[in-house]
Every structure is written in structure tokens, then in C-alpha cells.
């Protein structure tokens, strides 16, 4: 798959979505119900249900916000890095703005910095009314793939 930032004319959104959703099967993001729904050269969008991902008081768990954001940020960096590369998260911070009790949240990731060795992305998580629930920044280190399948 080509880098989404270096070759936007070759970007195939359907192929990217199929790849990302396929890669998620059997992972934490799959167990949490994260589904990639939109891909573009400058953003990825995924949803996640609130139900099943709450803390004991009925609000979407802060860690669930972070899992959604790390999934989006890492996948965006991985797609941007292109074949023969893999990414490793090295820093993440989250600010929660409001609680969410039901429905689905939507995370949208956009690039802040896309470099050859470091990439930083911003993720906004919003409730079904479009209200901001959290803002997360993730930085990934870009490495050469370790071996077959990476």
C-alpha cells in the first residue's frame, strides 16, 4: 500500500478501509467494536460503541477513548509510512472534555507532522451529537519492518 501522504492520487479509500478492518480482526480494537468507516489522504475515521466500554459509573471509559485514538493514530501513521515500514507509538496524551453514556463515538485522526522517522497525529472523539468528548495526540516512531509480514 502506498503512502497516503506522498501519493494521494493513488489513494484507494476502499482498499485502505478493507485493509484496516481486516487487520483489526481478533485484536483489542475488534473486541471493543472499533470499525473504520472513512479513509482519505489526510484523515481516517472510526466508530466505537459506548456500551461494553464503560467504567463502573456508566460513562465511556477514558481508556476506551485512548484505545480508539491509539488505533486511529497508529493505523494512520502505518498507512502513511508505506510498505516496508512499521510504526511504534512513543507518546500519547489525552484530554477528556465531556462524558458519553450511550450510542457510538466517532474518532477522526488528522496529521500534525508526517516525517520519515516521526509522525504526530491529532484525534478528536465526538459523541453522536457531534460534541467533542476528547482530544488525543499520538506520536509514532517509524521503523524499517523487522521481517516477513511486517
CATH of the domain at 76: 3.10.129.10
Active site residue 70: yes
Which residues make beta-bridge pairs with 144? 85
Whether residue 109 is contained in a domain is answered as yes
On whether residue 136 sits in a domain, the answer given is yes
**49-96 pLDDT, tens per residue?**
999 999 999 999 999 999 999 999 999 999 899 889 999 999 999 999
The reply to whether 51 falls in a domain is: yes
What is the per-residue pLDDT across 5-45, written as a single tens digit (0 to 9) for each? 444 457 888 888 998 899 899 999 999 999 999 999 899 99
Residue at 82 is within a domain: yes
Alpha-carbon distance of 14 to 18, in angstroms, equals 6
Residue the block writes with cell 475515521: 45
Q: How many domains does the chain have?
A: 1
Instruction: Confirm whether 66 is domain-assigned.
Output: yes
Instruction: Tell me the C-alpha distance between 94 and 14, whole Å.
Output: 29
The verdict on residue 1 lying in a domain is no
Distance between CA atoms of 107 and 76, rounded to whole angstroms?
A: 12
Query: Is residue 2 domain-resident?
Result: no
Distance CA 115, CA 51 (A): 37
pTM: predicted TM-score of the whole model, two decimal places: 0.89
Give the active site residue among 6, 70, 91, 128.
Answer: 70
Q: Which domain does 100 fall in, by range?
A: 8-144
Nearest to 80 by CA among 51, 50, 107, 112: 112
Residue 150 included in any domain: no
Which H or E run contains 35? strand 35-40
φ, ψ for residue 121, nearest 5 deg? -130, 155
Amino acid at each position: 500500500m502506498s503512502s497516503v501522504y506522498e501519493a494521494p492520487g493513488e489513494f484507494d479509500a476502499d482498499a485502505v478501509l478493507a485493509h484496516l478492518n481486516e487487520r483489526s480482526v481478533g485484536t483489542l480494537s475488534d473486541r471493543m467494536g472499533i470499525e473504520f468507516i472513512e479513509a482519505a489522504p489526510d484523515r481516517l475515521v472510526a466508530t466505537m460503541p459506548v456500551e461494553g466500554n464503560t467504567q463502573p459509573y456508566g460513562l465511556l471509559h477514558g481508556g476506551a477513548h485512548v484505545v480508539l485514538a491509539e488505533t486511529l493514530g497508529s493505523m494512520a501513521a502505518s498507512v502513511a509510512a508505506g510498505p516496508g515500514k512499521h510504526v511504534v507509538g512513543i507518546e500519547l496524551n489525552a484530554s477528556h472534555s465531556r462524558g458519553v453514556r450511550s450510542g457510538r463515538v466517532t474518532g477522526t485522526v488528522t496529521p500534525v507532522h508526517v516525517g520519515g522517522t516521526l509522525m504526530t497525529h491529532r484525534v478528536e472523539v465526538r459523541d453522536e451529537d457531534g460534541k467533542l468528548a476528547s482530544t488525543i495526540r499520538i506520536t509514532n516512531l517509524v521503523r524499517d519492518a523487522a521481517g516477513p509480514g511486517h
